[in-house]
Every structure is written in C-alpha cells, then in structure tokens.
Structure 1
C-alpha cells in the first residue's frame, strides 16, 4: 500500500504552515465509529503514530462490534479510547464485562466516560459520575479517563440554558481526579467560535477546575452536513458562524475547514502559555480521510507511520 508522506507537504499552491496551529495540533486525537472505521483499509495510511482514536458508542451498537473495532485499531498501533455512555449500560455487571472485554481483547486501558445522548437510561446509570464512582475503572487499572465538556452548555443536563448542573458535575470530576490513579482530562463537544471557548476555559480555571481540556473541533465537511450535525448535537451560539457562512454565496458551496477557529485558539495559547486547552480532538464529520489530510497539511503530523504488515 502506498502511504501518505507525513512530513509537511511542500506545495507551491498552498500557504505555509501556521506554526501556532501546528503546535496546537501536536498530540491531536480523532473519533470514529465501527461503521466508519470499516471504510478505512488501514489507519496507518492516514494517522501519525501515537494518535489516540476514540470509538463512539452509539445506542444500538453491539458491544461485540465496539470491541472488534478497538482490537483492530489497537493492532495497527494506536491507543484506543472507547466511549462508555452511562445511560446505555444496564448495571455494574455490564460495566465490568465491557471493561474486561476491552482489556482482554484489545488491551484497552483508557476510556471516555460520559452520560450519553439517550433520554431514558437503559438501567441503573444516568451519569458519568456514577460510572466513575463505581470504582470499576480503578480496579481494572485504567491509566487514563476522559470526561465530557460542553463549552456552550448542554440542554440535556441544563434545559434552562444555564451551566449550573454541568459546572457542578465538572467540579465533582475535578475532585475525583485527585483520588484516582488515572490521568484525567476533559474532551469537549465541537464548537465553531473561539471566543466563547476561550471564555469557558478561563471560567473553569477560575472555578478551580484545572483538568486539561481537549477541545472538540469539527473536521472539514460540507456546510450542510455540519449544520445538520450541529443542530442534532445541540451546538449553541457558535452555530451562527455556520449560518453566516451559509448566507455568503461565495462560500456556500465551499467545504468548511476549521482553520479560523483553530488559528484564534492557537494564537491565544501562544500568548498565554498556561491556557488550559492542551489538545485538539477532531470529529471527522466530513470523513476521516478528509480530516486526516487537512491535519497533515496544517502540520498535524511530524512522523511517518510504520509500514503496514
């Protein structure tokens, strides 16, 4: 198989790599689902070595498919972080079984623990806090646990549009991080405007929440695709960025790229080294290949992948 060159591309028709964006993209992660992973012949042709790959667990996906996807991606040399959505896990025995399967079949030792987008819980759990408090991840020796963050709020948790419950949950998770051996971080929903993201991150730090933030960013995609996903996922005021773009006929048919939002976040981080956004987490809504190619073109890879066996 011919592999992509993971050095910076030198193309006469493309602008030079923005060094600040390149710095922010170091250690980026990306999210897949079993059905999207099936379309990728070999992740080593797309992603730099060491890229963390999250596997989203959508309601109705059998755990066998999740574990098989994790096993396949791990075998290609990538650290895998499956979702553990509380509201589709029936009980503690199910949680322990999932953890054991992931560990035994795919060597998994990290997880994104979240409530999940299901309205009615399938069993005993309805929050990430309950899963963490069970102690099952610590008993299994998980080395890394990520939790969800919502820079523009979450109406499933705070229907009134406030961030009261979301903020209280993050304070609990901050306290939990101080008594678990696992490294913890916040992985967020995607947004399209840097200013509210920066304000939210600063507010967390002022509230004593010091967990590193892996900021969710939507990868390149058709504008109509992004608007559809943004509405479905409850993206807040930054949706206006897409709506303004949709009204500009010169941009309507062009694919959206996350260059502007990342440039502003990267510039802020360069000017404020203690800024608590440490990593980028991509949602490849326009396809994994398109997202990976964009990342490469913007300096998001500095090493060549291992040759596939």
Structure 2
C-alpha cells in the first residue's frame, strides 16, 4: 500500500504571519509628506522615521520659499532626503523657478523634486504644467524626478471625465525618462480602494508607461478629516469607502486606518510581481506622528535611501 502525503492546512496564525510579512515588505522604503508648519511641530524626525526615509515637502500656495528651504535644510541635517514640490501654476516665471532650484540646491543640498501642475486652475505666470518646467533645463542634474499621478482621473486635466490628456502627459514623461539620467517615477493622489489602483497600474502598462508608481495613501485620521481633505483634493469614487463607513455607527468614532487597502495591494503585488507599484507614499492627514507610529507598528521600519528608486523600464 502506498503512503499518502497530507498537506496540513495552514493555521490562522501562519496565514496572519504571511499577510503581516507581505505588508511589512510593501511598506519598506515608504515616504511621507510634510509642510513647513507641521514639520515645525516635530521636535525630532529621527525619533519618528527610519533613517533615510524620503520626506516630500508640499508647497501650499502662499508659503514663502524661505520656509520651504529651511524645512529642507532641517530634514537634510537630520539625515532625511527632502523632495520639495514644484507646483507649476504658482510659479511666476523662469527666473522664479531658477531661484527656487538654486536655493534648494545651494542651501539644502536638494537633488530631487516632485513636479506637478498644482492646485490653482489659473496659472500665476508662465507655467501650466510640469512638462513646461522640465523644458527649461533647470532640473538637469537632479537625481530623482517625480510626477503626479491620478488613479481615479483628474477633472482639472480632463474635464470630460476621460483620461486622454493625462495619458498623453504620462507618455511624454515616459519618453523623458528614457533620455535622462534621472530616476523618474509617479507619485499618486491618495485613494481608498485597491481595485481602481490596480486597474490603473495595469492600464499604464498596456499604454506603454513603465514608470515606477509610488502609491499615495492617507495615514490614520478621523473620518471627518479625511472626508474634508478628499473633497478638497478631488478624490474620486473610492471616497465612497469613507461615506459607507460614516453610516456605520460602530465605526463612526474610530479613526480610519489604511490597513485593509495596503494589505490588499500587498497581496496583489505578491501574486503579480510585475505590478508597477514600487513604494508607498503617505499623506499624514491625521498628523505625522500618528502616521509614522502606524507604519512602525505594521513593520515599516526598513527605510531605504532615495538613490534606491527603481529606474523606469526602457521601451524597445
């Protein structure tokens, strides 16, 4: 009689450990965003973030450039590479852009940037989009250049609800990545469902866009705070996750945490290694400390330097 081999069903603990490991790996090398005002409230970033964590500095319209540069300098001094925003529609002209670039480089050692259109719909001057800023040549020599992405579309760019102009822009940036030494990536707006993110990432691949995606995620926050920011930032249909949660009295007073979203994305990436999502970028809408603590509790302690960004795939 032959011997039968029986495979034991994994215990709940083993399944939980596997899921936890996937999430921990997914959080590795995460980045986070600050503004000068919130950064000033943090006594020491070293007490909160893994060494080498990239910190984006969002440039809100009206913020003096000196405050932005001061924040970048402070982060550099504490060992965190700063990636300041350059919002095209709030910059008056090439001279002002050149001043910003020079000050960041000379006073804070900045060599990476997030280029985006920005919040205002009417340009303050010469620039309407990130491509026009790139064409000035002022970012030549930067090691990392990121652009904004919108998994749930962007009606400021495509008022008809399509993604025609967005895709055209991303294809331009894909070609730019193939002729520059800089590492180019997409950093996205935050959303609350995995399915549209996965569909969008797959769509980019079919369109010949292979730029690494840094997926935007809202950190832990009160429900009303997230709804307020989601409405002002133009978050799409995934905002229904928050609206459904608001109807559940048992969850109404509990802070939202991105555990389910990130776990689903982590599991999908484990099953589909070619998924274009490489890293997670946190919007700490409920506070930097709350987000950093949540990431640490979920294993996201292994920071990696900005120079470790994956390069975009080259098309043939």
Corresponding residue of 1:149: 149
Corresponding residue of 1:306: none
- What is the aligned counterpart of 1:118 among 107, 117, 120? 120
Corresponding residue of 2:28: 26
Answer whether contact 2:29 2:302 (CA < 8 A) is retained.
Answer: no
**Per-residue Cα deviation, 1:64-110 (whole angstroms, up to 9, x for no partner):** 11000100111100010000000111111111111110000100000
| Structure possessing the higher radius of gyration over alpha carbons | 2
Q: Distance in 2 between the 1:91 and 1:268 partners?
A: 44
Q: Distance in 2 between the 1:193 and 1:274 partners?
A: 20
Q: How many pairs were matched up?
A: 287
SS in structure 1 at match of 2:139? helix
Q: Distance in 2 between the 1:180 and 1:29 partners?
A: 23
1:57-206 equivalences under 5 Å are 57-138=59-140, 141-206=141-206
TM-score, length of structure 2 as denominator length: 0.89
Q: Distance in 2 between the 1:182 and 1:247 partners?
A: 46
**Per-residue Cα deviation, 1:133-184 (whole angstroms, up to 9, x for no partner):** 111101xx11000000000011111111111111111111111111111110
User: 1:302 Cα deviation (Å)?
Assistant: 3.6
Corresponding residue of 1:297: 297
Q: Distance in 2 between the 1:25 and 1:132 partners?
A: 30
Q: Distance in 2 between the 1:69 and 1:191 partners?
A: 27
Corresponding residue of 1:259: 259
SS in structure 2 at match of 1:204? helix
Corresponding residue of 1:245: 245
Q: Distance in 1 between the 2:107 and 2:191 partners?
A: 34
Following TM superposition, where does structure 1 have runs of at least 4 consecutive aligned residues deviating by more than 3 angstroms?
A: none
Q: Distance in 2 between the 1:134 and 1:176 partners?
A: 13
1:225-244 equivalences under 5 Å are 225-244=225-244
**Per-residue Cα deviation, 1:261-280 (whole angstroms, up to 9, x for no partner):** 00000000000111110000
Q: Distance in 1 between the 2:76 and 2:164 partners?
A: 38
**Per-residue Cα deviation, 1:241-293 (whole angstroms, up to 9, x for no partner):** 00011111111110000000000000000001111100000000000000000
Q: Distance in 2 between the 1:118 and 1:270 partners?
A: 39
Q: Which runs of 5+ in 2 are unaligned?
A: 1-15, 304-316
